Each structure stands twice: as C-alpha cells, then as structure tokens.
Amino acid sequence: MKKSLIALAVAGAMTAPILAQADATLYGIAEMRLIDEDNNDLDLNMNKTRLGVKGTVDNDIEGLESFYQFEWEFNANGDSLSGAVSNDTTVRKSLVGLKGGFGSVIFGRQNAHASATHKADIFKRGSGYAVATPDRYGNSMSYVTPSMGGLEAYIQVVTEANLGGADEDVDLTAVGVNYSANGLGAAISYTETDKESLGGAATDDSEIIEAAVSYSMDAFYVAGYYADIDNGGESTNNFAIAASYTIGKAVLKAGYDEVENASGNDDGEQIILHAGYKLGAKAYTYVQYQDRNDAAGNDALSLGYSLAF
C-alpha cells in the first residue's frame, strides 16, 4: 500500500510540471442510475465514471496549434460485494492533433465525426436507440475543414480495425458535411466499411447514410435523424425524433425511435419521456421512462444523479 502511494505521488510530481507548461484542463463525470426494468432485478449502478485531460501545447510555427485529449472510463460496479474493482479501465479517447487556418488534422482514438448526425440522441439510458454508427473510432485519422459561414466538411479513415482479421490498409471511411448557424443545425454523412474487414459471411461492403436536422430557439430544441443502412445488400432504415424544453432549471424531453430489421420481423421502437432538474452548473438529477417495443420488450423507469467537473 505504501509503495502504491509513493508511486502515485512520484507520478503526480512528474506530471504536474508538464500540465503547468501546457494549457491543460482536467475534467470528469460520475453518474448514478437506479433502474427498474421489466423482467430484471432492481439495479443501482454507477453508469458513468470518467476522467479526462485535454489541452493545447505551444509550438514554434506561427498559426499552428497542437492539441491533445485523453479520456478514461472506470467500471465502478463489478462484484457488488467486493471491496474494490480492479483491471476495469477502458480508454475512450487518446488523440493528438494540429489546428490552423487549413482546418484540423486528428490522429488516434477520437470521436466519429459522423456522430454530428446524432442530434436526436439527447437522453440518458436507451438514448441513441436508432443510431446506426458508433460515437468513437480507434486507429483513426481525420481531417476537418475550417468553418466557412457555419459550414464544414470532413473525411475520416480507420485502419487495423481488427473486425475480421483481413489485411486491408483502410477498413472504414467516413465523409460528411455539417452546418450550424442561427439555431439551425444540419448534418449528412456517408460511412463505408470494407467487406473484408467485416469478416463472417459479409458479401459486400457496409454502407450507411445518415442525415439529421435540428433547431433551437431560446428554451426549445427539436431534432430529427434518419439512417439508410445497406449491410451486405440488405437495406434497412432507422428514424428518430426528439424535443426538449427548459423552464428555469427544469428540463423536459420527449423522443421517439424506430429501428427496422433486415428480416422485417421484430422491428423495434421506443418512446422516451424525461424530466430533469439542474442543481447548479455541474449537477443534474432526473427521472426517465422508456416504453420499448422490440424483441426484448422491456420497459424501464430510471432515476439518475450526475456530477461533472
């Protein structure tokens, strides 16, 4: 125990000067959820326990800025009767990049830029039910143009995805355009995954087109999302709509998601109702209800409390 404390102190002493020299921000979030779901036991868990650091570093080239971000997530649950949880840390982000008048170039585990279309993903548990692409990619490189009148474009590639063990240089490619101005937001993306990388019985590349639009005015927000998914010749469509309204510190949300399966059977849909209250700038408590109609068909009531810094 003493050795661990000494090692931690030494690590802190070594990293402190580095953070002092760089423009670094330490951030994190912890969120508790109490979930009462049909056909399952009552579940009290720490749904989110995350810690990250991000910032910029000076370089010798005028007009060019270097930046970085590292983010970890910790499993704070595990065996409920044990005194601690060990070896349950995952890396959400690990990236470095360069930014200038040309735009930005980002390397490493980073956000999927196509997630800009996930404008209806505004809830807690079960949010993003209809979303067709992930929020982040590893082994990734991306380029984002400068914003011109609220309009920007990007290209992102993923290498060594290890999806099917195939020897492919580029496993996934995503391109898209985003727009944001005067409360109006719009995004469209195209994501292609090589069939060799998918492995299994895939006979064709996977192609996903996502489009979304949102509008915010004062305390009101509304968004819609649509995805056209062609997975090895089988085409499906997903759809979502969501809205929120803020009254003082209270937040009311409602949403509808619809997911189409390739077989045409067991298509899924859900309705989400959410009521939250802001306890200051960084604390939030809420109650949320999911009415889900799919193969599992489990409705759920969630109570949550989150703290961020």
User: Per-residue pLDDT for 56 more than 60?
Assistant: yes
Residue ranges per structural domain of the chain: 25-308
pLDDT at position 162: 61
What does the pLDDT read at residue 59?
Answer: 86
In tens, the pLDDT along 60-105 reads 899 999 999 999 999 887 666 666 666 678 999 999 999 999 999 9
Closest C-alpha among 186, 178, 238, 228 to residue 207: 228
Residue 1: pLDDT over 80: no
List Cβ<8 Å contacts ≥24 apart for 156-165.
156/112, 156/113, 156/114, 161/193, 161/197, 163/193, 163/197, 163/198, 163/199, 164/196, 164/197, 164/198, 164/199, 164/200, 164/202, 165/199
pLDDT tens-digit series, residues 268-305: 899 999 999 999 999 999 999 999 887 677 899 999 99
pTM reported for the whole predicted model: 0.86
25-308 CATH fold: Porin (2.40.160)
Q: Which of 305, 238, 306, 300 is nearest to 271 (CA)?
A: 300
CA distance readout (Å), 86 to 78, 100, 169: 9, 41, 35
